[in-house]
Amino acid sequence: MSELLNSIHSPADLQGLSQDQLEKLSLEIRTFLINSVSKTGGHLGPNLGVVELSIAIHRIFESPKDVILFDTGHQSYVHKILTGRADGFEKLRQRGGLSGYPSRSESVHDVLENSHASAALSWGDGISRAFSLQGATDRSVVVVVGDGALTGGMSWEALNNIAAAEKRSLVIVVNDNERSYSPTIGGISNYLSTLRTTQGYEKFLDWGKNVLEKTPVVGGPIFETLHGMKKGIKDIIAPQGMFEDLGIKYVGPVDGHDISALERALEQAKQFGAPVIVHAITEKGRGHTPAEQNEADKFHSVGVIDPETGEPVSTTGTSWTSVFSSELIEIARKREDVVALTAAMLGPTGLDKFQAEFPSRTIDVGIAEQHATASAAGMAFAGLHPVVAVYSTFLNRAFDQLLLDVALHGAGVTFVLDRAGVTGDDGPSHHGIWDLAVAGIVPTLQIGAPRDGIQLRELLNEAVSINDRPTLIRFPKGAVAADLPAFERRDGIDVLYRGESADILIVSVGAMAAICVEAAAQAYREGVGVTVVDPRWVKPLPAALLTMAQRYSAVVVVEDGIRHSGIGSSVAEMFRDAGLNIPVHSIGVPLTFIEHAKRGEILSDLGITAQRIARSLVELRSTGELGFMEEMQRHVDGNADQSQPR
């Protein structure tokens, strides 16, 4: 680290710095971020854009007395540096290292851990209300929210309530870089764009005052009249009146890279004593030449890269995302009724390529998963077949719409969930471990879990051919596994491995197939006969599974979702309903929040490895129980006890 950066251990260390020193510190922080994040991976672009903004906030407000909330949280790296955590960036997003998002266990300066967009304004409303009710009039709440997050309906629900707030120090900093994961779209984007490019009415009034005050006799009264007309002038010259019509004072736009200007705006907002929006214009990826010369969303989140060129240091194999993307394009070439929807994630879900070929059939609704889901139901009613592609964790936000707008109406909508299961680096809020349990209780919904690229293509084609009920396809993050052909397909169930004796039947869910086959082979060497099957469609489960299971003494279900109410539970319920008395054991994720680490490390902790499963199969045959599952649960619970409760 550099000289000034080495001297920053808490926000208080910023107070004595001159403007020249602050500018130098900004450069040092950018250099530090580029060098550090290039080695570990992480959200580089967003944080390069908020260096000056973060410094200004910490100079005007006194954290943790004043509460600073980051919407989405991936823009909090500079905040972490300024609150004394620069040394921890060596292990950013790695086991035992700093989280890529605010974390209460790391610092008293971190409050909001949930990294899903559009929630921070509601938190800010709640905290500021609590301060007001408790008489803590000397405490402020600062919410840093991106322009992309304002496309989320929850933000506007919060603003509607914040508008009624009086005598609460609540400062909403809109970090406007015109991008979330990709370019921000919709009416809110157009509105902010107008504010960015229009000379403010305050400048008009300043000019008028200077001219008219020099005019004898009538100059003063004319200016007062104009000042009284400022609402009308504001609507014409700079239509920030929308915010003020809500009852929220607007300050800006402000150059988000001018610390002095930011400090003046923030101080003004702080002293106002009621909700204020400070509109800061920033540049995502600022100071990093590759990010400035390429599309900024390319550097939203990066893996390990060359700090000079921005290019990946190593390349992985073909990703699940790219297999989905290419197959959907092939389907759309044959099916004009197929359209694609996403929620501000065109690039991350692979729909950017679909958009390039079918721009009019690609709909990006912004960070609004609920709207995407209900809108898709409407499209299905009107004769289209929508394919809604989001990260698995983000479908949680649209459960009501999935249940009552899509499933209840028998809408032919296909949901494609990327990053399903254990995802790794981004921590608790980004693991896609709830989808099977949550979606499993939705009537009429059909769920497919492909084990490889061939099956992803096959299941996607089957899904879009179904128009009288919804379907869902889920797959994990990263490189797609090598194709794993079946010995045979029996009544819709693929048989992947067959032991010589009928001891144990493994039901493999999706990408767990390769691990299950290897575990079966290891167990066979220990004298245990194991058959591995892949039902492909895990909801509803194939009826043939009942007949198949009767040949075995036990059934083991392996999944990378939570065990509670997961596929293992569904299999057990299916057997009970059929009067089939065969023990069902589940290997999966326990009901807990899982911290950030590599996917392989987490799966190893959970016992979801070929070696551990093979050992459990041997134990199961000899004792009738999967003994290690209780041991694993105690291990996970013990780790959870060591961190601050959420």
> Tens digit of pLDDT for each residue in 196-234?
444 444 444 454 455 445 555 555 555 444 444 444 444
* More confident: 106 or 231: 106
Provide the pLDDT confidence category of residue 330 given band limits of 50, 70 and 90. very high
- Three-class DSSP category at 441: coil
Is there a single domain that holds both residue 192 and residue 234? no
- Cβ atoms < 10 Å from Cβ of 155: 25
pLDDT digits (tens, 9 = 90+) for 429-460: 788 899 999 999 999 999 999 999 999 999 99
pLDDT of residue 395: 93
**What distance separates the 2 farthest-apart alpha carbons in the chain?**
106
Is there a single domain that holds both residue 125 and residue 71? yes
Whole-prediction pTM:
0.79
Task: Classify residue 582 by its DSSP letter.
Answer: -
Q: How many CA atoms lie within 13 A of 625 on its CB side?
A: 6
**Cα dist from 511 to 85, 419, 450, 471, whole Å:** 37, 12, 7, 18
Instruction: Name the residue with tokens 């400070």.
Output: 278
- Cβ atoms < 10 Å from Cβ of 107: 18
Most trustworthy range by pLDDT among 423-427, 555-559, 593-597: 555-559
Calculate mean pLDDT across residues 182-202: 48
pLDDT of residue 32: 86
**CATH code for the domain of 288:** 3.40.50.970
Task: Provide the domain limits for residue 269.
Answer: 3-198+239-299
Task: Classify residue 403 by its DSSP letter.
Answer: I
Domain count, the chain: 4
Residue 342 maps to a domain: yes
Is there a single domain that holds both residue 36 and residue 150? yes
Residue 489 maps to a domain: no
Is there a single domain that holds both residue 561 and residue 596? yes
Residue 123 maps to a domain: yes
Q: What is the 3-state secondary structure (H, E, C) of 455-467?
A: HHHHHHHHHHCCC
Residue 307 maps to a domain: no
CB of 522 within 8 A of CB of 614?
yes
State the Cα–Cα distance between residues 390 and 363, nearest whole angstrom: 12
Q: Which of 595, 200, 185, 528 minimizes the C-alpha distance to 372?
A: 185
CB of 243 within 8 A of CB of 268?
no
- Three-class DSSP category at 230: helix
pLDDT of residue 646: 35
Residue 312 maps to a domain: no
Q: Is the pLDDT of residue 301 over 80?
A: no
Is there a single domain that holds both residue 544 and residue 458? no
Is there a single domain that holds both residue 415 and residue 547? no
pLDDT of residue 592: 83
Provide the pLDDT confidence category of residue 493 given band limits of 50, 70 and 90. very high
- Cβ atoms < 10 Å from Cβ of 538: 26
pLDDT of residue 323: 97
Is there a single domain that holds both residue 449 and residue 575? no
Find the helix packing angle between 610-623 and 513-525, rounded to 10°. Answer: 50
Instruction: Name the residue with tokens 């939203």.
Output: 300
pLDDT of residue 304: 55
Is there a single domain that holds both residue 110 and residue 13? yes
Residue 549 maps to a domain: yes
| End-to-end Cα, the chain, rounded Å | 32
Element (H, E) at 54: helix 51-60
Is there a single domain that holds both residue 410 and residue 470? yes
Q: Is 627 exposed, middle or buried (0-12, 13-18, 19+ CB in 10 A)?
A: middle
CB of 412 within 8 A of CB of 338?
no
Calculate mean pLDDT across residues 187-192: 48
Q: Which of 238, 258, 290 is the last residue of a domain?
A: 238
Residues 6+ apart with CB under 8 A from 51: 26, 29, 30, 33, 78, 257, 286, 287
Residue 483 maps to a domain: no
Is there a single domain that holds both residue 187 and residue 48? yes
pLDDT of residue 231: 44
Q: How many CA atoms lie within 13 A of 561 on its CB side?
A: 28
Instruction: Name the residue with tokens 């040092």.
Output: 28
Is there a single domain that holds both residue 220 and residue 248? no
Is there a single domain that holds both residue 181 and residue 271? yes
Report the catalytic residues: 284, 369, 397
Q: Is 124 exposed, middle or buried (0-12, 13-18, 19+ CB in 10 A)?
A: buried
Q: Which of 408, 440, 474 is the last residue of a domain?
A: 474
Calculate mean pLDDT across residues 174-194: 57
State the Cα–Cα distance between residues 11 and 6, nearest whole angstrom: 13
Residue 209 maps to a domain: yes
Q: Which of 186, 214, 238 is the last residue of a domain?
A: 238
